[in-house]
Every structure is written in C-alpha cells, then in structure tokens.
A and B are shown apart, each in its own frame.
Chain A
Amino acid sequence: MSFINYSSREINCKLVYYGPGLCGKTTNLQYIYEKTNPDAKGKMISLATETERTLFFDFLPLSLGEIRGFKTRFHLYTVPGQVFYEASRRLILKSVDGVVFVADSQEARFEANIESLEDLRGNLVEAGYNVDKMPFVIQYNKRDMPNVMPVEDLRRELNPNNVPDFEAIAVKGDGVFETLKAVAKLVLTELKGQKKG
C-alpha cells in the first residue's frame, strides 16, 4: 500500500519481484543497486541462506526523484522463489503496490514459471488484490542461455492479459531498468487514479 507522508513530504511505494527459484530476482536488485547513484539508494539487505538462496527477502530502497515537491521512494523486495517458502511469499506480498514477475526463459523451467505465476495469482487474490488491474509487468530473463523458449511462446503462456513485458539478461543488466521503470510508472499512474484514500 503506498504511503504518503505529508510531514516528510514523501510518497513511498512497494514493489515486489516474484518468480520461480533461481530466475534472477535477486540479480535484478543487485544490478539496480550497483548502477544507482549512492545518494539515490539505501543499503541492499539480503536475508539469504549460506548458499546464497533467498531465505526471506532482499530489500533495496530507491529514490526516483520528486513529484510536486514530494520525494518518490520505492522499496524493492524479492520473494524467496523456492516452492516451500510459500508462507514467506505471502508476507512479503502484503501491501504491495506493483509486481514484477521474473520468468526464467529456459525450456526446462517452463513448468516452474507456470507454477510460480499461479502461486502469485493465488496469493494476490487471497490478499484482496484484483490481479488483472494492479500494476504488473513481466520480465523474460536469461535470454542469453541455451535452450530458451521463443518470447512469443512465453508471452502466449505467461502473459495472456498483455501487460508490459521485457526480455532481459539481468546478470548483464539488459532489460533490468526498463522493467523497473515500467512497473514504477504503472504504480504512480495507479496512485494518481486513486486520488483519495
């Protein structure tokens, strides 16, 4: 839920990167962190296992600039992708303003993408969101890997509502900021549309 603080003149929004295990959610945040000016970012926090798998979440606070004298601050979170962290994913989705679904383009991960997307939809519905109307973008990651599915096939299966989607190689940064910008813009447009409370 966006939080407008009239005292500190800030608009705060929450973005969540969702997707199957090892699809590149943390890599997206790491790239954003590396390429953002120090004055526009806070510390990146990763609650991970010893083998660097996300255990609870990654967190990265970003400032995007000002709108009408209000600082716009985005809190970026990732969820743990592994199936058994279901309860943690539900907690992190709470009060989300915009979602990025990071799909793994490799053929072998197609079923995992579908399963994660269904899990996302279920959790959003449970949290009271209208999944088809909320700010939502899809990223087809790992386009540089062998045995990737054609984007048209991924789009047909994962993006029937035709939300903004992007090809990406997050490890090199390709498509990372395009994805972030698209979802941030959708969130602010949605906020503008809400107008009141």
Chain B
Amino acid sequence: MEMLFEEEQRKIQTISDRLQRDSNSIAVLVINKDGQEIARSGQTKDLDITSLSSLFAGNVAATSAIAKLLKEEEFGGQFHEGTKYNVNISVVAKRAILAVLFDSNSSIGLVRLRVRRASEEMAKVFEELVNKIQQQQKGSGGGHGPNIAGEITDDDIDKLFGE
C-alpha cells in the first residue's frame, strides 16, 4: 500500500501553494500516479478534482506507454492550450503528477520555470516519504507515523457493510 503522512503532505502543500503564487497560475494539483490527490492550491472550488485527478493519471499513463513503444524513456511533459485554461502536466520523481492550470495572466515559460524548481523540492519530500514508509515496513520506525491498516478489524469491515 502507498501512504501519505501529515508531515510530508504539509511540505508538498507548501511547495504547491508557492508554485501557484509564483507562477501566477489559477490552480495547481499534485496527484499520485494512480490518480489520488495529494495537494491542491489556488482556485479549485469549481473544479471536479477527483475526475481531473483520474484523467490526468490516465493521460500520463497512456503518454508514458506511448513513449515506451517509441523507445523513449519518458516524454518530458505535456501542454494543453485552451481558450480559458491552459494546462501544463509533468511527472515529479517518477511518483507524482504536477498539473498547473493557468490563463493569460501567466505564460508557459513562467510556469515551466517555476515547475522545475517546485519539482526538485517535491522530489526531496517524496524521497523522505519513501524512506519513512520503508522504515515503517521494516518495523524500525519507532512509531514513525500511524498505521490504520493494522488497526482495522473484521468487525469494522462488517459494520461498514451493515452486517
């Protein structure tokens, strides 16, 4: 299973917030490669984040498969130009997807510049997260992070299904 702890989520959130401000974009979404949300920043109230996350992940997965078929290691990123929204999609540390939604108040050049810096910072946090999860797996974490999966009982599952 994959996990995200509060400490790393806060760090990613801080980087995401700054990226959104510095790039003058409308919104920033950070999602894992399976399409689960990690952080969101900016004007996201009217966005269907769950659907967008799933579609961005599907898009990145398909693009990555195309790259493999063409013997490319990975395509660097994607840019979609619309009338209201432009979207820049990139992969961070092979683990997460960073989607920046912006309009004419920003530019693709500025977005890519800011994304590069934010990606480097996020990659470090993901590395910390992986180490933490590995420590927990080994049981040497000394209480590193909680473990809800270990606390679930058959009763909890039965109750969820009204049995």
Determine which of B36, B58, B147 lies in contact with A3 in the assembled complex, contact meaning CB atoms within 8 Å: B36
| Contact status A195-B3, CB under 8 Å | no
- For residue B72, CB closer than 8 A to chain A, the reply is no
A2 → chain B closest CB, angstroms: 4
| Contact status A61-B54, CB under 8 Å | yes
Given contacts A12-B36, A196-B136, contact A5 B4 (CB under 8 A): yes
> Chain B residues near A57 (CB, 8 Å)?
58
Q: For the complex, give the distance between the alpha carbons of A90 and B37 in Å.
A: 22
Q: For the side of the interface on B, what is the size category?
A: 35 or more
Q: Which A157-177 residues have a C-beta within 8 angstroms of B?
A: none
> Chain A residues near B116 (CB, 8 Å)?
none
Given contacts A68-B156, A95-B34, A197-B134, contact A192 B149 (CB under 8 A): yes
> Chain B residues near A194 (CB, 8 Å)?
1, 149
| Contact status A91-B1, CB under 8 Å | no
Q: How many residues of A contact B (CB 8 A)?
A: 45
Query: What mask results when residues 1 to 23 of chain B are scored 1 for a CB within 8 Å of chain A, else 0?
Result: 11111100110000000000000
Q: For the complex, give the distance between the alpha carbons of A3 and B151 in Å.
A: 16
Report the nearest A residue to B54, measured CB to CB.
A59
> Which of A109-117, A129-137, A181-189 is the contact stretch?
A181-189
Q: For the complex, give the distance between the alpha carbons of A48 and B136 in Å.
A: 42
> Chain B residues near A192 (CB, 8 Å)?
149-150, 152-154, 157
Residues of A at the B interface (CB closer than 8 Å) are 1-8, 11-12, 14, 42-43, 45, 47, 56-57, 59, 61, 64-68, 70, 72, 75, 87-88, 90-92, 94-95, 181, 184-185, 188-189, 191-192, 194-197
Q: List 13 A-B contacts (CB under 8 A).
A: A3-B32, A4-B4, A6-B4, A7-B6, A12-B36, A14-B34, A43-B50, A61-B54, A67-B148, A75-B35, A184-B161, A185-B157, A195-B147
Residues of B at the A interface (CB closer than 8 Å) are 1-6, 9-10, 32-38, 48, 50-51, 54-55, 58, 61-62, 65, 133-134, 136-137, 139, 145-154, 156-157, 160-161
